[in-house]
Amino acid sequence: MKILVTGSAGFIGSKLSEQLCLRGDDVVGIDILNDYYAVSLKEARLKRIEETLSRAESDKTGKFRFIKMDLADREAMETLFAEEQFDKVMNLAAQAGVRYSIENPLSYVESNIVGFAHILEGCRHNKVKHLVYASSSSVYGLNESMPFSVHDNVDHPISLYAASKKSGELMAHTYSHLYQLPTTGLRFFTVYGPWDRPDMALQKFAKAIFEGKPIDVYNYGKHRRDFTYIDDIVEGIIRVLDNVAQPNRDWSGETPDPGSSLAPWRIYNIGNQQPVELLTYIETLEKHLGKKAEKNLLPLQPGDVPDTFADVADLVKDVGYKPSTTVEEGIKNFSQWYKSYYKIN
């Protein structure tokens, strides 16, 4: 297949692009390469894709082609879709970060709402067979029922980042309903691993630890997160891409199910199903870095949810998704990568 991966220089997008090509798909990757964090890391991820594919022994390996492009550029997006005629699309491009959205809310509108509208229009007018897109566990907002289920109502987000992701789910449903465009949203639960973003917990903590600076630990380290390793996330994405969204014929407007529809539209949680307390996460990082952290214990940050815990039963049932990487193994892999990439002995 020919697959468009947006955000292909990102943490998840680069790994996904690599794995799709290794199994034989041709991938066109786009990314704006903005300076939200170091562009050098994004460029290194793109270089890693090329190096991995050049070492691949199979003659069935697909090709990867990168184009620098902004989702918010309507004309460029229209041209891209018309010229390339993609079979499927994975939209990972987004302005990320809950805390950043508190200070810079409007940047999320341009990328996560306007940019996503251009993706939907491109898919609609060019007969894309399946659009899969990144949502977030943040949409659960003030929900307290655990584990979080796609069959629960999620109308109370507490950050504009979460609201923009919820907006994407609603926009996708409209296109699935009006134009019969199959769409699937994936609510990611705290993805971590090698090559992650510098603003994510592991890199922030590791950097501070090696610099001898204290780390800010919100909610006094007591909140739990459903930390999900990058390889498990990518495997789940590929399974979902291959499993085109279908209408739920049992759906009823009298008792509407928030996770499915009479349209070809689905929502899935994608997580590890094993929440870990933040302090335990930090202790595991200390162990594998071989250094102790100085902790600055703080109350819960505005916009953060206290706990996340994914109910992935639908994803297991529909695509056979089974995350297998423990936090111990995942943080060990991250620590080895971090010391190698930043040249720390």
Does the annotation count 218 as an active-site position?
no
> Encoding tokens for residue 220?
């006094």
Instruction: Output the pLDDT for position 294.
Output: 93
User: Which alpha helices (H) appear in the chain, and where do they start and end?
Assistant: 11-22, 39-55, 74-84, 98-103, 106-108, 115-125, 160-179, 201-211, 230-242, 278-289, 313-319, 327-341
Instruction: Output the pLDDT for position 309.
Output: 87
Instruction: Output the pLDDT for position 112.
Output: 87
Q: What is the mean pLDDT of residues 102-130?
A: 90
> Encoding tokens for residue 327?
């936090």
Closest CA to 118 of 129, 131, 104: 131
Q: Are 316 and 322 in contact (CB under 8 A)?
A: yes
Q: What is the mean pLDDT of residues 280-308?
A: 88
Most confident region among 51-60, 64-73, 102-111, 291-300 by mean pLDDT:
64-73
Q: Taking every pair of C-alpha atoms in the chain, what is the biggest distance, in angstroms?
A: 62
Instruction: Output the pLDDT for position 340.
Output: 96
Instruction: Output the pLDDT for position 345.
Output: 77
d(CA 185, CA 169): 7
Instruction: Output the pLDDT for position 64.
Output: 97
Q: Are 31 and 3 in contact (CB under 8 A)?
A: no
Q: What is the percent of the chain where pLDDT is above 90?
A: 76
Q: What is the percent of the chain where pLDDT is above 70?
A: 98
Instruction: Output the pLDDT for position 273.
Output: 84
Q: Are 6 and 91 in contact (CB under 8 A)?
A: yes
d(CA 208, CA 200): 12
The pLDDT-based confidence of 203 (bands split at 50, 70, 90) is very high
Instruction: Output the pLDDT for position 157.
Output: 87
Q: Which residue has the higher pLDDT, 109 or 131?
A: 131
Instruction: Output the pLDDT for position 250.
Output: 95
Instruction: Output the pLDDT for position 85.
Output: 98
Helix (H, G, I), strand (E, B) or coil at 3: strand
132 pLDDT higher than 90: yes
Instruction: Output the pLDDT for position 125.
Output: 98
The pLDDT-based confidence of 143 (bands split at 50, 70, 90) is confident
Helix axes 230-242, 11-22, angle to 10 degrees: 60
What's CA 58's distance to the chain center, in Å? Answer: 28
Q: What is the mean pLDDT of residues 45-72?
A: 92
Closest CA to 259 of 273, 245, 275, 274: 245
Q: Which residue has the higher pLDDT, 111 or 344?
A: 344
Q: Which of 161, 218, 321, 338 is catalytic?
A: 161
Q: What is the mean pLDDT of the chain?
A: 93
Instruction: Output the pLDDT for position 260.
Output: 97
pLDDT in tens, 204-256: 999 999 999 999 998 888 888 899 999 999 999 999 999 999 999 999 999 99
End-to-end CA distance of the chain: 43
d(CA 77, CA 85): 12
100 pLDDT higher than 90: no
Q: Which residue has the higher pLDDT, 160 or 210?
A: 210
Instruction: Output the pLDDT for position 181.
Output: 98
d(CA 238, CA 244): 11
d(CA 29, CA 9): 8
